[in-house]
Structure 1
Amino acid sequence: MENNLALYNTLTRKKEKFEPLNAPFVGLYVCGPTVYSDVHLGNCRTFVSFDLIFRYLLHLGYKVRYVRNITDAGHLEGDRDEGDDKFAKKAKLEQLEPMEIVQKYTLGFHEVLRLFNTLPPSIEPTATGHISEQIEMVKQIIANGYGYERNGTVYFDVEKYVKEHDYTTLTNRKLEDLLNNTRELGGQDEKRGRLDFALWIKAKPEHIMRWPAPWSVGFPGWHIECSAMSSKYLGAQFDIHGGGMDLAATHHTNEIAQSQACNHVQPAKYWMHTNMLTVNGARMSKSAGNGFLPHELFTGQHPLLQRGYSPMAVRFFMMQAHYRSTLDFSNDALDAADKGYKRLMNAIALLDKIKPVATSSTTEFDLDALTNRCYAAMDDDFNSPVLIAELFEVVRFINAAYDGKASVQVADIERLKSFMQTFVEDILGLKDDVLGNGGTDSLDELMQIIIAVRNEAKSNKDFTTSDRIREELQAVGIQLKDSKDGTLWNKI
């Protein structure tokens, strides 16, 4: 099967033909969450975006090994053991063991992604489960001459690395700018260079999560975890490495350096980064008070939200922007996405209600051409906004056929069902959650009861009750249509 995925390669700043490096599978690694608190919406956007990528590669017939790690080691996200251990601090606040904190928030993370209908990764390794691999990688980096030990802490020698490799290949930043912008952190007197970062950190006596290593009892640096886990499950070089754009400048830059220093090869061919979230044009952050947790978005219980939105409406909202584009949250934008999502789901439901014609003398809709355009959109760096725009061409045709303004045969309806199944459910990962836990069948049964009550009111000439039922259903997003064949309903 010939595939021509034009993926965006951060390293080369160009689109290339996608050719899996490691047959028979595509290696996909995504940096997962640090599980000491609830997963935030920025993380969710990253994981939903890579779920789309995972789904599409599977649909094309690739064997994909999708690895998404869990960071559960008790380190700070920096070079030195400064301040409180985040896991220990949370454990003290909640009066739990650190690994209870890990379990609690890992389960919460999985539940949120379940609501967003993401597929589970092929492998979900934890940092604490791969301490030995991280120690071995640090040993190899030292043996290759790029690591050195000071007072039990092991550092990566960036200044030696830059003599032989491009340290800023991922971001194209100037090394001089990095040096000028480096903060004066503790431990600078131990380092050979200001940009050197910790591979292994000697633990202070009060540090709870610690492991024995040749250099000290301590814990791994932040960056070494992903390098060790990705190389174990995907090899020294694999196809796609992803995460949020905030990881590119430091975490992923250092991953490349230490992987190259250890294995003598760039770890990934493609680096894919999701862009940041904004709220009403301002960057989303907890400190600014404009950050949403997923459950706040679902319930509407946040000062900046006028109401709640279903997980699938939020997923649809995320898909309306390309993963490399900024995604701006506002009540108006969420309302528009909610309406668009409902239109899409309603069109799928209408396919079972359209009356086909026996024959059709003219071709009123070129589904083959539109299918090709949908694949072209996804082949162009997973361009979900263009795909969604094409899908609404189908929605318009389905609505016209339902209203009797276009004719379709039985075979056409079945092809449309297959098309919508492929692109809406299998690739975009959208399902109908507007109807609640009862699902479509349960709501349809309920609507038949309501329609029967309304028909009885009409037969008794109680038009006040009949009109009131219609208007109140309209207010909650359900439209009734009276025809010679009876009353039909659909979501609006």
Structure 2
Amino acid sequence: MKQKLFVYNTLSRKKEEFKALNAPHVGMYVCGPTVYSDVHLGNCRTYISFDLMFRYLNHLGYKVRYVRNVTDAGHLEGDAGDEGEDKISKKAKLAQLEPMEIVQKYTVGFHEVMQILNTLPPSIEPTATGHIIEQIEMVKVILEKGYAYEVDGSVYFDVEKYNKTKDYGVLSGRNLEDLLNNTRTLGGQQEKHGKLDFALWIKAKPEHLMKWPSPWGVGFPGWHLECSAMSQKYLGEQFDIHGGGLDLVPTHHTNEIAQHVACCGKNPANYWVHTNMLTVNGQKMSKSLGNSFLPHELFSGENSILNKGYSPMTVRFFMLQAHYRSTLDFGNDAMEASEKGFKRLMNAYALLDGLKASGSTEIEIEPLLERCYAAMNDDFNSPVLIAELFEASRIINSVHDGKMKINEVNLGLLKNLMKTFVQEVLGLKDEQADNDDLPKILNLIVELRNEAKANKDYATSDKIREGLSKVGFQLKDSKEGTLWSKN
């Protein structure tokens, strides 16, 4: 396929042709979780979206280095992430545990959920605590270049001084005056020269649990600094894609750009890519509104919002049915429709191996294949891709039922199309057929039933058919033999 890939860039506010800095190599950095609690569904949506991009770029032949950090220190409770108490330390005190016990518990939980949702692991998963030296070195450079100042063991980034020669609001599209007028005064503000200044290094109070020695005294790094230090270490001063949730644009990513430009003289990423938020029945998902629930509560159905639980692959399919830049709304009707759609797609997928070509054809697959690529090349448009895959499913069902003929070449294209886009790109799998041996087992059962029929043992034959039907599999007798499919 010679089509070009276009990606929406938050920096330019338009779709741009994707041109890798050092093709075929691609560097992609995505802001990972702060591991002080269970991963929430908004995080899951973000990581499924970037998993889709990771998969598709790999499919196109790029060699992607995907870096996704784990924030295990330095993320404070305030809006800007550098005011209040450390989220992990606070949780550790409440639970009477070491902070690293909290980190370990929720990092393991995060990985389990990501595996259940069939996301591929990143190439590198660095932690903030594992890169304290790199963060200290970056602060030193920013200080030397005059864009930061030290006050009593803490180091702050001077936003107004930076903005005199650079554009602090380049990512958010807001000017400094508007930002200053809309920023409330926070605790500890007296140390800062300006209201928008943010912490690069924070002096630790005696009771603070997570702290390290530095040239400015014992303290810990600011939340924004870790991503700049780690992306620079593993992807260089400039790389291809930087991603995260849309909520990170106003502060975290804006500050990342500022400190990186102050240190290196260039914007770290060519393409800034952001996923949109989740809503529940039209309202923003939040704990304060009482409408939020965790992944395991969605899988089990133990929540007060939805009528029942949904399987992980249904949830993944549901999230991919919306474009990553659009709002995703949870509700009973939407989830039930996704469950039916996912089953329809996977039922067709299960028929692939049993399809047989006929001498002639009534359908050309090449145009459908081109439309699948066109969808993904239009800013990873998974909902349009899924619509094309439903058309492929209709063809599969028609060929299976003998209503449509297909030759060997087009059958090969059809099988390749489904396996490429359903499994490799969308990362969907048949949850009832996770076991690779299942088709062999079912084919053996079908063979035993055929032997029973041949011996006129119709009671056994009917018992096998009815038993398979009860566990979700349908048998269909045809001239070519007996075929099985999922109900």
Using the size of structure 2 for normalisation, the TM-score is 0.92
Query: 1:377-413, CA deviations, whole angstroms, 9 ceiling, x for partnerless residues?
Result: 1111111111111111110000001111011234433
Report the secondary structure of 2:21's partner residue: coil
The number of residue pairs the alignment matches comes to 485
Q: In structure 2, what is the equivalent of residue 401 of structure 1?
A: 399
Query: 1:46-73, CA deviations, whole angstroms, 9 ceiling, x for partnerless residues?
Result: 1110011011111111111111001001
Q: Is the 8 A contact 1:292 1:302 kept in 2?
A: yes
Paired with 1:430 and 1:462, the residues of 2 have a C-alpha distance of 35
Q: Is the 8 A contact 2:375 2:385 kept in 1?
A: yes
Q: In structure 2, what is the equivalent of residue 298 of structure 1?
A: 299
After TM superposition, give the deviation of residue 219 of structure 1 in Å.
Answer: 0.5
Q: In structure 1, what is the equivalent of residue 223 of structure 2?
A: 222
Let me know the Cα RMSD of the aligned residues.
2.7
Report the secondary structure of 1:295's partner residue: helix
Q: In structure 2, what is the equivalent of residue 30 of structure 1?
A: 30
Q: In structure 2, what is the equivalent of residue 58 of structure 1?
A: 58
After TM superposition, give the deviation of residue 486 of structure 1 in Å.
Answer: 6.0
Identity score, percent = 67
Inter-CA distance 23–395: structure 2 relative to 1 (3 Å threshold): closer
Report the secondary structure of 1:366's partner residue: coil
Report the secondary structure of 1:11's partner residue: coil
* Letter of the 1:66 counterpart: Y
Paired with 1:178 and 1:348, the residues of 2 have a C-alpha distance of 52
After TM superposition, give the deviation of residue 452 of structure 1 in Å.
Answer: 8.0
Paired with 1:225 and 1:289, the residues of 2 have a C-alpha distance of 32
Q: In structure 1, what is the equivalent of residue 412 of structure 2?
A: 414
Matched, 1:491 2:486: yes
Report the secondary structure of 2:308's partner residue: coil
Query: 1:98-131, CA deviations, whole angstroms, 9 ceiling, x for partnerless residues?
Result: 1121111111111111111111111111000100
Q: Is the 8 A contact 1:310 1:434 kept in 2?
A: no
Q: Is the 8 A contact 2:365 2:410 kept in 1?
A: no
Report the secondary structure of 2:196's partner residue: coil
* Letter of the 1:419 counterpart: L
Matched, 1:6 2:2: no
After TM superposition, give the deviation of residue 267 of structure 1 in Å.
Answer: 0.9
Q: Is the 8 A contact 1:356 1:407 kept in 2?
A: yes
Query: 1:320-345, CA deviations, whole angstroms, 9 ceiling, x for partnerless residues?
Result: 11110001111211111111111111
* Letter of the 1:491 counterpart: K
Query: 1:413-470, CA deviations, whole angstroms, 9 ceiling, x for partnerless residues?
Result: 33322221111111111111134668743773697499789979x976899x989949
Q: Is the 8 A contact 1:74 1:219 kept in 2?
A: yes
Q: In structure 2, what is the equivalent of residue 368 of structure 1?
A: 366
Paired with 1:198 and 1:154, the residues of 2 have a C-alpha distance of 6
Inter-CA distance 128–435: structure 2 relative to 1 (3 Å threshold): same
Q: Is the 8 A contact 2:238 2:266 kept in 1?
A: yes
Q: In structure 2, what is the equivalent of residue 97 of structure 1?
A: 98
Q: In structure 1, what is the equivalent of residue 254 of structure 2?
A: 253
Matched, 1:42 2:42: yes
Paired with 2:48 and 2:313, the residues of 1 have a C-alpha distance of 11
After TM superposition, give the deviation of residue 484 of structure 1 in Å.
Answer: 5.6
* Letter of the 2:39 counterpart: V
Paired with 1:337 and 1:281, the residues of 2 have a C-alpha distance of 17
Paired with 2:172 and 2:120, the residues of 1 have a C-alpha distance of 30
Report the secondary structure of 2:431's partner residue: coil
After TM superposition, give the deviation of residue 221 of structure 1 in Å.
Answer: 0.6
Report the secondary structure of 2:297's partner residue: helix
Query: 1:56-99, CA deviations, whole angstroms, 9 ceiling, x for partnerless residues?
Result: 11111111111100100144154686544322222233332211
Paired with 1:453 and 1:292, the residues of 2 have a C-alpha distance of 51
Q: Is the 8 A contact 1:80 1:187 kept in 2?
A: no
Q: In structure 2, what is the equivalent of residue 111 of structure 1?
A: 112
Q: In structure 2, what is the equivalent of residue 191 of structure 1?
A: 192
After TM superposition, give the deviation of residue 369 of structure 1 in Å.
Answer: 1.1
Question: Counterparts in 2 of 1:232-247, with a 5 A limit?
Answer: 232-247=233-248
